[in-house]
Structure formats: C-alpha cells, structure tokens
Structure 1
Amino acid sequence: MRKLLVGLLCMTVGCATTATSTTPSAPSSSGAPEASAKTEVKDPVSLDTLKAEIQKARESKDWPRLQSLARELAQREPENGEALAYAGMASIMLGQKEEGIAELEKSVTVKDSAPIRYILASVLRGEDQPQQALEHLERAVALDEEAVQAWYDLALLRAQVGKIDDAFAAADRVKALAPEAPQAEALFMFLSQWHAAMRVPPEAAAHNAQGSKLATEGHVEEAITEFEAALKLAADYADAHYNLALLLSRKGEKPRAEQEYRKAIPGFHEREKLLRADAQNNLAFLMVERGVKTEEPVTLVRAAIAVRGERASYLDTLARACDARKDKECAVEAFRKLLASSAKLPFDVKTHAEQRLQALAP
C-alpha cells in the first residue's frame, strides 16, 4: 500500500529518480569504502489503479488531482479520449479555460462524444465565441438526437447568431421530445419575442427590452415611457403594443389598454402567434370585464385556444364570455374544464368558477 501511495504521489508532484544517502556508509570489513546503494526505481502505477484514482478524484471534485492523473493517463494512452476529457473538464474547473478547451477539443477528435461537445459549446458560449459553440452543439445533436437540453440550447444559440428559422426548428424538436415540459413553451415565447425584435430598428427593440426589465422590477411608469419610446420608433411594433397594454390594464386604464391590444394583434407575425394568442385572450377578458356581450370575446379567446390549447387563463376567459352571452352549455363546459385543470388557480378565479357552475348547473 505504501508503495502504491508513493507511486501516486510521484505521479502527482514528481519524485527524483536517484538519491544518495546522507549518512556515511560504514567501512567494509576489508577497509575499502562501500559503493553507494542504488536507488530503487518505483514501478509505474497500473492503469487499472490509475483509472480508479481518476474516478475517485472526479467524484470528490478534487480538480487539481483529477487534472494531474487524467493527463498522466492521456500520456500513457494517447487514444484515450475519456482521459483527455477529464483533464479538460478539470482544467476548466480550475479556471484554465484555454487549456481545458484545447484538451476537450482534442478528446472529441480521438473519440467523439455528444456530452463533451455540449460541454465545449457551453464553455465557448461563456467565452463569447457563439459560432464555435454552435458547431459543437450542431455536432452534439447529430450524435444524440434525443438530447433535449442540447436542442434547447441550440435553439437559443441559433437565434443568437441570426438563424431564427433554424432556431424555431430546434424548438420544434424540443417540443416533440418533451411536449409537457413548461420550458418548451417558454422557449417558443422567447423566440417569438426575439423574432419580433429582429423586425424593428435596434433602438426600438432596446427600448422595449428596457421597458420589460423595468416592469419586472416594478417600475411601471418608467416602463410605460420605454414602451412608448419604442413605438415612436416603430409604430407597428406589436410586442411593444402588447407590453404597453399589460401595464395600462394593471393601472386600471382599461379603454386605452384595449386599444393597444387591438393594435398589437394584427401586427404579430405568424412566428409570433403565441404572443398574438395571449393578446387575443387578454383583449377578450377586458371586453367581458366592461360588460361586452357580443360574440367577439368568444371568437378571440377561441382563436387563442386554437394556438396554445386550453390553458387555465383561456378557459376562465371563455367561460366568462359564454356566461355573459347566456350560452349556458359553453359556459358550463368551460367552467368544468377550468376546475378540472391541473393548474393552481388563483382563489378568486376558483371561487368564481365554483359559484357560477353551481348557479348554472346545480
């Protein structure tokens, strides 16, 4: 055991190959000086032991040790892509990104790997090298067509480099692989907003983005100013109209909010249909709130449902719109679906649905 530990220590920090005793040798019986004893040369650690130690270092996240041992294994087995990958990952964790990237890139030339390609892409994105990252992500999904996270990141990266149609194609793949994942829906919403921003002057998109940030932080008036600035630069910027309508509605300026939704809806591109669906639902809800009993709110929310499905907020709007028109069958069906949905309903929404359902279908 001691020999094994000494061998590993030598591999890690290096040991001298020769040594001389610091204690004078006793004279031989003949009186002639005794020759210096030869230093024993340690045998290299077996490959199996080395690999086991690498796994231990990896599991304990001992990055310096993992880097040293993995590099030793890579020297002894030049065709071991896994050793190069471990060395590269350890280097990156130690902040030695340039060395780590080089080792990872060498590892995939020895043995290609979707996970290593994905790691490379993530590191390169962090180093602001989107084109190089894109190449590795494209290869990652080619190697593993079921890698949902890789497809997700690929959609974002394709959008970043201006390949918006390809980005939507990657998002379609995410949706196909994980149809129930909320991240898939969020990805489409993000790409829709990105697509909308690409169709207007950069200054308008910047104002809209700043307005969204301010709104998230609770600075409503400042956000409204930003959205209005965006619309001065791009009067048909549907996403800015939509964002402005949201805040106006929150402030209680319902008539003006309704006007902004009406401006937004026809301005959305087909790629932005999820945003348009939300605008249609929100407009329908505002109309029902102010007592509109025509077919228009029902038509609007049904169009939204056709795009995004029977979301709880859409079912709530549909039920109220049908109820306002005295369409009992439609209202009862929508209220029942709303209460049966898996979504966690706000207290007032749930209470209203229960009360109206009791009144309509006791």
Structure 2
Amino acid sequence: MRLIYFSPVPWASFAQRPHKFVEWFRATRGKEVLWIDPYPTRLPRLADLRTRGRAKNGEVVAPDWLTIVSPRVLPIEPLLGISLFNRLLWNKVIQRVNSFIKDGECQIVIGKPSELALRVIALNPTVFSLYDAMDDFPAFYCGLSHLSMRRREQAVAAKVSQISVSSATLVDKFASYRLKLILALNACAVDSLPPVSLKGRIDKPVIGYVGTISEWFDWSLVFCLAASNPSVCIRLIGPVHSMPPGRLPQNLEMLPACDHGTAMKLMGEFSIGLIPFKLTNLTAAVDPIKYYEYRALGLPVISTSFGQMALRHGDEGVFIVEKNSNLVALTNAAMAFEDKLSEIEEFRAKNSWLKRFTESGLLTAVTQRL
C-alpha cells in the first residue's frame, strides 16, 4: 500500500501531525509516500509581503521513501471561474499522481482541502480517500477566502471514504458524516523526548511556553500571570507574529524560535507548561500538541479553557484558567503538583503518535468498520 498525502504544511516546516502521520504510515505499511506541499488557498494579503522569504526549518532532507511535489499555482483559488487557470498549472502534478497510483495499490489522504485535492479524488473515484482534519480550516480565513474554504471543505468531506478529526469540536462539526467519522486526537513524538525523570527543585520557578505567538495568543492573560507572580519567571519561546500590548514585565522574557531538540531542552527547565490561547472560533477546534509534550515531560500545565483543553478540566496535572480564577492560587497549585515516574511513563505510552494512529483505525476501509 502506498500513500498520497496532500499536506497542510510544507515538509520543510517543523514536524507536526502530517509529518508524524506519514512516518507512521511508513513504519506500519513500509511503502512509498508522495507528499504534496500546500499552496495558497486564500487571496493574498499585505502581510504576505512581510513573511516572504522567511527562513525555513534549516536544511530538511526528505527520506528516500518520500517524494515531495510542490504545485505551481496562482493565489486565486477563492475566485470562481478565474481559478480554473490553475488547472493548467496542475497538469504535471496530476500526471505524477496518476502514475503513482498506477504503480500499485494506493490511498489518498487530504490534510487540507484544496481544489487540487478535489480534482485528484474526482479523477480516481475508486481509490480509498481520507480527510484528516487537524484544524477548523475555514476559521483561519475571512471574507471570500473563508466562504471558499468552507465550501471546499464540505465538498471534500462529502466525497472522501473516511474522515478523521483531532478534537471533539470537529466531531460535532462533521456529525452528519458519523458513519465514516473517527476521532484521532493529537499526540507527541515520545521517541524524541529525553529519558523519563522527575524534575528537581529549582531556585527560581519558570512558567514556560514554546510555540508560535500569533493572533490566538492571550497577551492579557500572560501579563496578568506575570503581575500576579512577580517571583516567577515567565519565559516565552517562539516566533512572534502578534506583538505584546506594552512594555514587558520585568519577570517576562522572550527567546527566539529554535529547533525541536533545543525546544525540548528548554522545556526541561520549565516548572510549569503554559498554553495561553484566546477563546475564539479558531482555537475552539484545537487539540494542542504542546499539552502532550508538557505532560510527557512531567510538567503540570496551566491553560485557558479552549478547544480540547476545556474537556481536560480536572485531569491530573492540568490547571484551567477560568474567567475569575485566582492566578496566584492556580500557580501555587500547579507548582505543588508532582508526577510519579510511572505516571509519566504511562502518559508517554498512551500518547505516542504510533499508538494514536494505530488504535484510531485510520486508513481502515469503512465497510470493515460498520
């Protein structure tokens, strides 16, 4: 069995669910993967000029079992009629896909809805297809681009053989397709984590966050957390696309983006893992991978009540910030929490990508599941 994967992120980006999906497929099926990098599915914005040319995640080399295809398109997909010009640019990609399918039994996974993905499954109606929804993609867009993505996603959901989603909110969204719908939450790359160990006491506690700081990041909460806990260091690590609302508190420090290995080492210095996301339509469908990474390192987690985290209220090591939460008491409770070695090991065993994808029943024929 071979795999064609329409990815929502480039192969050269930091490893996320799509990367782990194809690695799991290779480990369990042992066959080749044709990875199709994403292309613009919304109309361009002025901000795109500022991000053009931004460095990628170093020199990323694809393994010999994976072939990367980067479609050439114009950023006009939301424009009905005019977007048909892109079909002329897709000819070589579609020929490559069709040749890949003819060379042996194949399955198609769509990680992000696009006209190209719809075209491929329309040309290959007998090939098993899966839509793996790791986000509520229309929520990332606005205006015409939002309407276009919503329409495109509905078309993908209707035509694929199976749908997998990464959060309970997305289960509700695709409830009308319940006979072909499965839930496969996110997980973490346990093989890249340091050995299980209990954290020792440190002189100055650190509440840390690793990840992108963008429109969904709750700067107000972070500032309040810093003000409420002046003896605690608040450390934010990652690229910044949403600037802080004012001068940083003295106990708040920011570090630049880094590779995954360095990020894991820096997380090892945390006392608490932080996930300060706003409650929006965009975050309502999110199951944050950083939650799994924090807990797999034995860190307690302070998080807002968004997405899948809202369902973890009361879970071991999870401390949810509500509207009227006492941030001092919440922080002290998180600081006092301690995992046992056996509990960390058990968490890792239950939340590896291999375990998650295998037990969820992904890429299993629908007729075998009914």
- Structure with max Cα Rg: 1
Shared fold, TM over 0.5: no
With the length of structure 1 as denominator, give the TM-score of the two structures: 0.25
**Looking at both structures, which has the greater relative contact order when contacts are Cα pairs under 8 Å and sequence separation is at least 6?**
2
Structure with the largest fraction of strand: 2
With the length of structure 2 as denominator, give the TM-score of the two structures: 0.24
